[in-house]
């Protein structure tokens, strides 16, 4: 009877695994010790856990097949409508731009000097493939990534500590509250004085922009963690470091990612401002330079480039978030 | 009654609570939650603690779990005073307490991982326990994909994964609907009989406490004290049909009598002081609405 039960278990389909994985389990069952049957309530054997053969391979929580199926499932009527509306939204913007420049609209708002979409497109073809422009983009991206990475490296651990320990909070929160209202742009003069070169100064300003949203959202994440989860972790034997790594960090992760998304936006604002004021190279510098040289199409190109880069960065953060937190798809608050 | 074979090794899981008192706050705002409570759970015994809401029964459990320190007295497990939470005491909470970011199996493995067990051992134990809970096919699901009853079953086997000596349960079925609750009670008795583990079970449900327990402690309204200790002589294994037997009914009546007084005291002490009994039934022609 016991062995019958084993076969049943082997036949249980395990989601996300190929059906034939069960076959391997079955063959391993033969070597498993004969378990006590759990179907009779009166047992003669004291507290032992029946062994069930382990799965030979560790199943990833999300397999590629799951992801593919999930994506296919999501192409629904709702999604189609969403996509169409997105096109309408962006299309309208282009239409206003096109009509405004075509008829040189001038009533309070002046489209007189605004370049047409075609001019900008030509500019993009001309400049966009030049080494100089690509180098400008590369510089901006490098600054963003450096500043943002430092902001994560300091903001997340510090936020977790401040959220968890009252003493750390008492030590760091006063200085945080004073520094936080100062916008990153206001740091530009100080930053130029403070750092040995322009490059470090710009990265610092980017860091400042990203740091506070990340820090504050991380703190909020720790505070909003359900206390019962911490108690559950403790009574399952987790010591403080284990609790930190296995409960507090994953539990705060959704809020941390909110912080990253907001922080990335502020980081771009700060970066562009810093590049315009003090920079050499970079998309912000490119845009400002174009203004100085009265190169109108280049201004538009710079703006569009900033928009696309910002969008790409947010998209990457969101994607990493979905990959790191697959459980959120099922959370009660999610729109499903 | 508890089944303890004479020839088995020295059984562990003896909980001894000695003249325990808990006061929250100090000065004028001090609230005495628990006052001079002594109780014990013998190794392998299933003991329920029942009382009106707010009587401090959850506080008592928190002390045995190690989350709260008592103001006076002490809680002792197998001769050692309890000072902090530990994996020798499994706890099942009233709220769902599964980690939402871990799959069902990883949740069950959690305690073993903290104890430094290797992946293989963790996997075997977790899968065996999930099989026992009838949820092996859900091992790779996330908690948010499961129903309340499933979550609590996983909560129970997760607490058992580290082979604790005692299981502390704080109204674990309180959030479940009646049908699920009855099934869960049967599942719990089965699991308990397999593991022969000491259980301290908090509830405010009279039938539930009788169905599950070897012994029941009835607590008074705040400040919580032990009002009565009642043995449940019903045979094991318990079946759902037993709830219709005369013995069961008699126990229900006895407990109802004990608890009604306390519930009334907890809900409306001012009513009790005025000498009114029952839920305002003696109030007279003006009706109940007038006095609240």
What is the DSSP code string of A7-36?
A: HHHHHSPPTTS-TTHHHHHHHHHTTSPPPP
Q: Are A286 and A134 in contact (CB under 8 A)?
A: no
Task: Name the CATH code of domain B15-88+164-290 (choices 1.10.760.10, 3.30.360.10, 3.40.50.300, 3.30.70.2190).
Answer: 3.40.50.300
| A/B interface, count of CB pairs below 8 Å | 140
Whether B125 and chain A come into contact, CB under 8 Å, resolves to: yes
If phi over 0 gives left and psi between -120 and 50 gives alpha, with beta otherwise, what is residue A280? beta
Q: Measure CB to CB from residue A41 to each of B85, B163, B193 and give the nearest one.
A: B193
Chain A residue closest in CA terms to B134: A9
DSSP A43-88: -SS-S-PPP-PPPSSPPPSS-HHHHHHHHHHH-SHHHHHHHHHHHH
Domain extent listing, chain A: 2-59, 63-114, 126-330
Mean pLDDT of A110-116: 86
Chosen from B1, B114, B211 to mutate, greatest number of chain A CBs within 10 A: B114
Angle, CA of B162, B151 and A235, to the nearest 5°:
35
Most confident of A21-25, A162-166, B283-287: A162-166
- Report ipTM for this prediction: 0.84
For residue B124, what pLDDT is reported?
Answer: 94
Chain A hits for B124, Cβ within 8 Å: 51-54
Structure tokens, A161: 């500590």
In whole angstroms, what is the distance from residue A45 CA to residue B194 CA?
Answer: 7
Cα A195 from chain centroid? 29
Chain A hits for B91, Cβ within 8 Å: 231-232, 235
CB contact under 8 A, A12 and B144: no
Residue A92 to residues A89, A99, A307, A334, B169: CA-CA distances in angstroms? 5, 10, 17, 30, 60
For residue A52, what pLDDT is reported?
Answer: 59
Cα distance from B109 to chain A (closest Cα, Å)?
10
CB contact under 8 A, A235 and B66: yes
Cα distance from B271 to chain A (closest Cα, Å)?
36
Chain A hits for B140, Cβ within 8 Å: 14-16, 59, 61
For residue B196, what pLDDT is reported?
Answer: 85
Q: Rounded to a whole number, what is the distance in angstroms from the first to the last CA of chain B?
A: 45
Chain A hits for B172, Cβ within 8 Å: none
CB contact under 8 A, A236 and B163: no
Domain extent listing, chain B: 15-88+164-290, 102-157
**pLDDT higher than threshold 50 for residue A13:** no
pLDDT tens figures, A143-159: 999 999 999 999 999 99
DSSP-assigned letter for residue B132 = H
pLDDT tens figures, B233-265: 888 888 888 888 898 999 999 988 888 877 777
* pLDDT confidence bin for A332, thresholds 50/70/90: low
CB contact under 8 A, B144 and A233: no
In whole angstroms, what is the distance from residue B66 CA to residue B60 CA?
Answer: 10
pLDDT tens figures, A197-256: 999 999 999 999 999 999 999 999 999 999 999 999 999 999 999 999 999 999 999 999
Average pLDDT over all residues of chain A: 82
Chain A hits for B160, Cβ within 8 Å: 49
Cα distance from A55 to chain B (closest Cα, Å)?
8
Chain B hits for A41, Cβ within 8 Å: 189-190, 193, 237
Chain A hits for B86, Cβ within 8 Å: 235, 237
CB contact under 8 A, B111 and A236: yes
**% of chain A surpassing 70 pLDDT:** 78
Chosen from A232, A242, A257, A324 to mutate, greatest number of chain B CBs within 10 A: A232
Q: Measure CB to CB from residue A42 to each of B141, B143, B193 and give the nearest one.
A: B193
Chain B residue closest in CA terms to A243: B114
CB contact under 8 A, A52 and B97: no
Chosen from B128, B145, B171, B212 to mutate, greatest number of chain A CBs within 10 A: B128
If phi over 0 gives left and psi between -120 and 50 gives alpha, with beta otherwise, what is residue B177? beta
For residue A76, what pLDDT is reported?
Answer: 74
Chain B residue closest in CA terms to A242: B114
Specify the CATH architecture of the domain A126-330: Orthogonal Bundle (1.10)
Whether B194 and chain A come into contact, CB under 8 Å, resolves to: yes
Each residue's pLDDT expressed in tens, for chain B with a length of 292 residues: 444 444 445 578 899 998 888 888 887 888 888 888 899 999 989 999 998 877 888 889 999 999 988 888 889 999 889 988 988 899 999 888 999 999 999 999 999 999 999 999 999 999 999 998 889 999 999 999 998 889 999 999 999 999 998 999 999 998 888 888 888 898 898 888 888 899 999 998 899 999 999 999 998 887 888 888 999 988 888 888 888 889 899 999 998 888 887 777 766 655 555 554 444 444 444 444 434 3
Task: Residue window 83-122, chain B: list those with CB within 8 Å of chain A.
Answer: 84-87, 89-91, 93, 95, 97-103, 106, 110-111, 113-115, 119-120
CB contact under 8 A, A52 and B127: yes
Structure tokens, A299: 């201004």
E strand or H helix that includes residue A106:
strand A106-107
Cα A187 from chain centroid? 26
Whether B190 and chain A come into contact, CB under 8 Å, resolves to: yes
For residue B288, what pLDDT is reported?
Answer: 43
* pLDDT confidence bin for A38, thresholds 50/70/90: very low
For residue A39, what pLDDT is reported?
Answer: 42
Chosen from B9, B45, B95, B99 to mutate, greatest number of chain A CBs within 10 A: B99
In whole angstroms, what is the distance from residue B158 CA to residue A168 CA?
Answer: 33
In whole angstroms, what is the distance from residue A284 CA to residue B33 CA?
Answer: 64
**pLDDT higher than threshold 60 for residue A8:** no
* pLDDT confidence bin for A171, thresholds 50/70/90: very high
Whether B159 and chain A come into contact, CB under 8 Å, resolves to: yes
CB contact under 8 A, A54 and B132: no
pLDDT tens figures, A178-204: 999 999 989 999 999 999 999 999 999
pLDDT tens figures, A39-84: 444 444 444 555 555 555 555 566 677 777 777 776 677 888 989 9
In whole angstroms, what is the distance from residue A261 CA to residue A191 CA?
Answer: 24
Q: Measure CB to CB from residue B131 to each of A9, A61, A246 and give the nearest one.
A: A9
In whole angstroms, what is the distance from residue A226 CA to residue A284 CA?
Answer: 43
For residue A330, what pLDDT is reported?
Answer: 85
Task: Residue window 7-66, chain B: list those with CB within 8 Å of chain A.
Answer: 8, 65-66
Whether B2 and chain A come into contact, CB under 8 Å, resolves to: no
């Amino acid at each position: 009877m016991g062995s019958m039960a084993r076969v049943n278990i082997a036949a249980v389909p395990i989601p996300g695994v190929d059906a034939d994985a069960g076959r391997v389990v079955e063959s391993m069952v033969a070597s498993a010790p004969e378990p006590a049957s759990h179907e009779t309530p009166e047992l003669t054997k004291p507290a032992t856990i029946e062994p069930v053969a382990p799965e030979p391979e560790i199943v990833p929580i999300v397999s590629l097949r799951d992801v593919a199926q999930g994506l296919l499932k999501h192409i629904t009527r709702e999604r189609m409508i969403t996509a169409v509306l997105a096109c309408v939204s962006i299309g309208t913007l282009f239409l206003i731009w096109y009509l405004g420049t075509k008829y040189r609209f001038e009533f309070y708002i002046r489209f007189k000097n605004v370049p047409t979409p075609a001019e900008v497109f030509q500019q993009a073809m001309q400049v966009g493939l030049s080494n100089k422009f690509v180098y400008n983009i590369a510089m901006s991206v490098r600054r963003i990534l450096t500043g943002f990475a430092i902001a994560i490296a300091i903001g997340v651990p510090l936020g977790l500590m401040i959220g968890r320990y009252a003493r750390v909070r008492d030590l760091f929160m006063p200085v945080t509250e004073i520094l936080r209202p100062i916008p990153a742009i206001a740091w530009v003069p100080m930053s130029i004085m403070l750092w040995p070169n322009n490059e470090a100064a710009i990265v610092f300003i980017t860091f400042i922009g990203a740091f506070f949203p990340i820090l504050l959202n991380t703190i909020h994440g720790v505070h909003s963690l359900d206390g019962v989860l911490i108690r559950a972790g403790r009574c399952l034997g987790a010591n403080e470091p284990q609790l930190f790594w296995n409960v507090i960090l994953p539990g705060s992760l959704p809020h941390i990612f909110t912080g990253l998304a907001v922080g990335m936006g502020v980081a771009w604002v700060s970066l562009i401002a810093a590049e315009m004021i003090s920079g050499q190279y970079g998309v912000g510098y490119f845009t400002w330079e174009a203004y100085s040289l009265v190169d109108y199409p280049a201004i538009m190109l710079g703006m569009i480039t900033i928009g696309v880069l910002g969008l790409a960065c947010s998209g990457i953060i969101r994607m990493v978030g979905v990959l790191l937190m697959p459980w959120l798809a099922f959370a009660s608050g999610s729109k499903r | 009654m508890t089944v303890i074979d004479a020839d088995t090794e020295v059984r562990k899981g003896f909980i001894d609570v000695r003249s325990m008192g808990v006061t929250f706050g100090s000065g004028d705002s001090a609230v005495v939650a628990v006052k001079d409570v002594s109780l014990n759970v013998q190794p392998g015994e299933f003991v329920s603690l029942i009382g009106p809401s707010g009587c401090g029964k959850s506080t008592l459990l928190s002390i045995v779990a190690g989350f709260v320190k008592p103001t006076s007295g002490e809680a002792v497990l197998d001769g050692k005073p309890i000072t902090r939470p530990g994996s020798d005491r499994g706890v099942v909470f009233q709220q769902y307490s599964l980690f939402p970011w871990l799959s069902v199996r990883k949740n069950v493995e959690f305690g073993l991982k903290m104890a430094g067990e290797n992946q293989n051992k963790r996997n075997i134990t977790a899968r065996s326990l999930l099989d026992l809970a009838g949820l092996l096919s859900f091992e790779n699901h996330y908690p948010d994909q499961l129903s309340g009853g499933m979550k609590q079953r996983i909560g129970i086997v997760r607490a058992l994964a580290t082979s604790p000596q005692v299981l502390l349960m704080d109204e674990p079925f309180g959030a479940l609907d009646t049908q699920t609750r009855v099934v869960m009670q049967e599942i719990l008795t089965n699991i308990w009989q397999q593991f022969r583990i000491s259980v301290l079970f908090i509830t405010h449900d009279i039938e539930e406490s009788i169905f599950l327990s070897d012994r029941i402690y009835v607590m008074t309204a705040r400040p919580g004290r032990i009002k009565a200790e009642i043995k449940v002589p019903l045979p094991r294994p318990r079946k759902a049909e037993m709830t219709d037997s005369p013995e069961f009914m008699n126990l229900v009546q006895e407990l109802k009598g004990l608890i009604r007084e306390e519930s009334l005291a907890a809900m409306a002490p001012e009513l009790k002081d005025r000498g009114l009994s029952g839920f305002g039934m003696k109030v007279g022609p003006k009706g109940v609405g007038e006095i609240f």
